[in-house]
Copies of this chain bind each other. A is one copy, B any other.
Amino acid sequence: MFPLHAARPGQPVAAIDTPALVLDLDAFERNLRRMAQALQGSGVRLRAHAKSHKCPEIARLQMAHGAVGICCQKVSEAAVFVVAGIRDVLITNQVVGEAKVRRLAGLATRARIGVLADDPQQVRAYAAAARAVGAELDVYVEVDVGAGRCGVAPGEPAVQLALLIAESAPLRFAGLQCYHGPAQHLRQPGERQAAIAAASALARSTRDAIVARGLPVPRITGAGTGTFVHERDSGVFDEIQAGSYIFLDADYGANQAGAGDVAFEHALFVRTAVLSHATPTRAVVDAGLKASSVDSGLPRVWNRPGLRYTKAADEHGTIAIDEGTEIALGETLMLVPGHCDPTVNLYDELVCIRGGVVEAVWPIEARGALS
């Protein structure tokens, strides 16, 4: 009896079993087009981040809308997309461990694969593994441009690592990864702009220092949904790694818009049903922590004023009901998840709807691809 499909194509939306992860195709397609338009003529290309959706069908649509390839975070995740026919994947992460690096090199025999480094040990391991299977591998130096997570310091440390990669055939020094994660979630447009101005200055000076040593820097890549207009306009970034723009979760939705920001819209929802309504001011829905990730805030109730999602337990979500608002046992709600990436990772399928009908069910093939 398990796994059950939450719905079949052709069924009405009302027939979708709950909880289910639902994609509003009209909104999703508008988001795809908005991103393509935002980059058109800028000379900056999109390499869409697939960690947000883990779904090859979506990757194919992103590429049909101009993306040059995708990003992944893990080797096992990249493998799913390579098998599905995506032939240009950048793993925006360091890969460590003999078996994992061997799998990375194996993928590079089947597709163009990029990976990050912030330590000479990684470079040596990548080179040995690539050599063993006769593969080439694009290696980017990750530079810490303000995120305070992975990455070497800007300037000379990055220069040294770039030079090491360049002399470590069959590796190719492919450029700089300059992603500023925390900047994506700064609420005020001015804060985001300032963070990316600082990141861009560090990316530029690091690039110039590498070029001054005679080594070209083929690409400077980074950015996310929250800041990409600033990287696009920086004059130094030439590739954008946005992922969440296709879905727009509640956290990104809470960012204040600034001049030039692109207005994406919510396209991803958790459909849930009321299973208990024991008091007039409280209902309980069947979507809790295992149905919607709460790390970036609780889900929001979509288009139902007077109802607020106030508490998540494993399998229960508590809904506070304002006076004068009605909701019935069994009624369904659409929730906007707080954070799309870990929410998508809870589901095996995406139920795609349009005009009140289930149009498709797309497997989330890289769900759980952690390694």
> Residues of A at under 8 Å CB distance from B?
1-4, 6, 15, 17-20, 51, 73-74, 76-77, 79-80, 83, 93-97, 99-100, 103, 106-107, 118-119, 121-122, 142, 144, 148-153, 181, 273-278, 282, 284, 286, 289-291, 293-295, 312-316, 318, 329-330, 339, 341-342, 345-348, 365-371
A103 to B313, CA, bound (A): 24
| CB < 8 Å neighbour of A1 from B76, B151, B286, B293 | B76
Known: A289-B342, A290-B370. 16 other contacts (CB 8 A): A1-B103, A4-B371, A6-B371, A17-B99, A19-B370, A74-B286, A93-B316, A96-B286, A96-B329, A144-B278, A149-B276, A149-B316, A149-B318, A346-B368, A347-B370, A367-B368
- Flag if A290 contacts B342 (CB, 8 Å): yes
- Flag if B345 contacts A118 (CB, 8 Å): no
- Flag if B275 contacts A93 (CB, 8 Å): yes
Q: Which residues of B contact A20 (CB under 8 A)?
A: 371
- Flag if B73 contacts A314 (CB, 8 Å): yes
Question: How near does chain B come to A105, taking the closest CB pair, in angstroms?
Answer: 13
Q: Which residues of B contact A153 (CB under 8 A)?
A: 278
- Flag if B119 contacts A315 (CB, 8 Å): no
Question: How near does chain B come to A280, taking the closest CB pair, in angstroms?
Answer: 12
Q: Which residues of B contact A278 (CB under 8 A)?
A: 118-119, 144, 150-153
Question: Mostly helix, strand, loop or mixed at chain A's interface?
Answer: loop
What are 17 A-B pairs with beta-carbon distances under 8 A? A1-B79, A1-B83, A2-B77, A2-B83, A3-B368, A4-B371, A6-B371, A17-B97, A93-B286, A93-B316, A95-B275, A96-B275, A97-B273, A121-B329, A150-B278, A290-B345, A295-B295
- Flag if A371 contacts B17 (CB, 8 Å): yes
A282 to B152, CA, bound (A): 12
Q: Which residues of B contact A276 (CB under 8 A)?
A: 94, 118-119, 142, 149-151
